[in-house]
């Protein structure tokens, strides 16, 4: 069992650029959620994918988009990066829409300069 793996672990981007963050779900998990965690705050829900379809979205603008692949791995794309996008981005997977809890990855630390 490999757990949830996120890549890269750290990233520095310039304002206005685009970024893609990747997540490999835990084996057998078909649901993945993405969160943004700013320093000193709790994780903020971005969106969730269940069997390749978006299954819920938080209060984030359309420049935050995602994909889930047939193997249930996932991507988070952010266009037109802003300084406030600097945060820890967490991916979490679950076997069945949250049943028995979500397994979180260690996150990608994104810094926008």
Residue 43 binds other proteins (CB under 8 A): yes
Using CA atoms, how far residue 46 sits from 1, 27, 57, in Å, is 26, 22, 6
In 8-86 the beta strands, taken as DSSP E runs, fall at: 10-13, 19-24, 31-37, 44-50, 53-57, 64-68, 74-78
Site track 11-40 with other proteins (rule: CB under 8 A), x = hit? ----------------------x-x----x
The region of 13-21, 22-30, 44-52, 60-68 touching other proteins under the rule CB under 8 A is 44-52
Phi, psi of 50, deg, nearest 5: -130, 120
Count, residues near other proteins per rule CB under 8 A? 24
Residue 68 binds other proteins (CB under 8 A): no
Residues 4 and 107 sit within 8 Å (Cβ to Cβ): no
Q: Which is nearer to other proteins, 48 or 74 (CB)?
A: 48
> Which residues are at the interface with other proteins (CB under 8 A)?
4, 33, 35, 40-45, 48, 58, 90, 92, 97-107
């Amino acid at each position: 069992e490999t757990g949830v793996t996120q890549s890269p672990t750290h990233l520095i981007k310039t304002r206005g650029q685009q970024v893609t963050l990747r997540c490999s779900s835990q084996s057998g998990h078909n649901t993945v959620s993405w969160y943004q965690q700013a320093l000193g705050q709790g994780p903020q829900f971005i969106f969730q994918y269940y069997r390749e379809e978006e299954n819920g979205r938080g209060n984030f603008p359309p420049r935050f988009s995602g994909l889930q692949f047939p193997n249930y791995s996932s991507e988070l794309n952010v266009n037109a990066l802003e300084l406030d996008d600097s945060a820890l981005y967490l991916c979490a997977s679950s076997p069945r829409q949250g049943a028995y809890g979500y397994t979180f990855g260690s996150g990608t630390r994104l810094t926008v300069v």
